[in-house]
């Protein structure tokens, strides 16, 4: 049987893609730890930077 979590912790912005699904769990608190501005790092390609920027925007909302 599935038991819903009381608290959901998302570490980093890449997991924020699933935030709309977490909202489907009523009475669960969501905590997001944005660990920096990842999309500004030189190591990421153009697509990865856009994805990380989008994920960061979802985390803020």
44 assigned to some structural domain: yes
Full DSSP string of the chain: -----SEEEEESGGGGGGHHHHTTSTT-EEEEE--S-GGG-TTS-HHHHHHHHHHHHHHH-
pLDDT at 1: 65
Q: Which domain holds residue 48?
A: 8-60
2 assigned to some structural domain: no
Would you say the pTM of this structure is higher than 0.75?
no
The count of domains in the chain is 1
Range with the poorest average pLDDT among 1-5, 29-33, 55-59 = 1-5
pLDDT at 47: 92
39 assigned to some structural domain: yes
3 assigned to some structural domain: no
Give the pLDDT confidence of 6-47 residue by residue, as tens digits. Answer: 888 888 888 788 888 877 877 888 888 887 788 888 888 999
């Amino acid at each position: 049987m599935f038991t819903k979590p009381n608290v959901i912790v998302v570490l980093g912005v890449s997991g924020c893609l699933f935030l709309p699904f977490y909202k489907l769990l009523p009475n669960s608190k969501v905590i997001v730890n944005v660990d920096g501005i990842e999309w500004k790092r030189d190591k990421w390609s153009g697509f990865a930077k856009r994805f990380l920027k989008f994920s960061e925007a979802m985390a803020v909302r």
